[in-house]
């Protein structure tokens, strides 16, 4: 996988100013979902090799979509080769592009309203985390509970679409400064309010 990370991209001619002007903000309002990737390896990478790369579009197609009316399927190809001009590997990325406003109005999930959290909502959740008794390794057995005894208030969340996307695309929340939910998010908000 070193070929995917450590390589020197070849540089093509700069884009002419006229084309830059015509295509500026061309994809404003378009969501891009990276739907998958695929490696094909052809040669090993040896110590001392230099890996170069170039990339471009392999295929672009417009398709009908239940989710967004129509979508664009874009397949890009990135070729990695060594100083001996041997292809080491080819990486293909599949992207799906849809228009945001159309996606929001159509589809089987269009009636579901996204959850939002105000500063007051977050403050209430943080208050639960601040006062929650963390039992950790201390077990609580059934016999020790009385009828009607409260187990205390627990907080779970908030969990937003942004949190889910960050979890899957941004490191699975294993590091303390990553976008996280639950108790870790509460601790992050205490350190940096913008969390």
- pLDDT greater at residue 38 or residue 190: 38
* Every domain of the chain and the residues it spans: 2-105, 119-191
pLDDT digits (tens, 9 = 90+) for 67-98: 778 888 999 999 999 999 999 999 999 998 88
For 104-150, how does the pLDDT look when each residue is reduced to its tens digit (9 = 90+)?
Answer: 555 677 788 877 888 898 888 888 888 877 666 777 788 888 888 88
Written out in words, the top-level CATH class of the domain with range 2-105 is alpha beta
In the chain, the percentage of residues whose pLDDT exceeds 90 is 26
Tokens of 63: 């398709």
Question: What pLDDT is stored for residue 173 in this prediction?
Answer: 44
Place of tokens 């208030």: 153
d(CA 45, CA 84): 11
Q: pLDDT tens across 159-176, in order?
A: 777 667 666 665 544 444
Sequence-separated (6 or more) residues with CB below 8 Å from residue 180: 163, 166, 167, 173, 188
Question: ω into residue 75 within 30 of 0, thus cis?
Answer: no
Tokens 């940096």 belong to residue: 192
Mean residue pLDDT of the chain comes to: 81
Residue found by looking up tokens 């996307």 in the block: 165
Residue scoring higher pLDDT (62 or 111): 62
This model's pTM is above 0.85: no
């Amino acid at each position: 996988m070193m070929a995917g990370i450590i390589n020197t991209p070849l540089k093509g001619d700069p884009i002419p100013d006229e084309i830059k002007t015509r295509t500026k903000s061309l994809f404003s309002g378009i969501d891009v979902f990276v739907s998958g990737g695929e490696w094909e390896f052809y040669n090993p990478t040896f110590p001392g090799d230099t890996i170069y790369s170039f990339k471009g579009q392999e295929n672009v197609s417009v398709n009908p979509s239940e989710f967004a009316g129509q979508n664009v399927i874009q397949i890009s190809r990135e070729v990695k080769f060594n100083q001996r001009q041997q292809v080491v590997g080819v990486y293909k990325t599949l992207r799906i592009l849809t228009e945001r406003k159309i996606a929001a109005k159509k589809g089987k999930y269009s009636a579901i309203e996204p959850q939002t959290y105000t500063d007051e909502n977050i403050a209430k959740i943080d208050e639960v985390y601040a006062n929650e008794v963390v039992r950790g390794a201390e077990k609580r057995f059934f016999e020790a509970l009385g009828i009607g005894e409260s187990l205390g208030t627990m907080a779970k969340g908030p969990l937003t679409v942004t949190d889910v996307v960050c979890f899957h695309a941004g490191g699975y929340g294993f590091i303390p400064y990553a976008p996280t939910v639950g108790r870790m998010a509460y601790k992050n908000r205490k350190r940096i309010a913008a969390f």
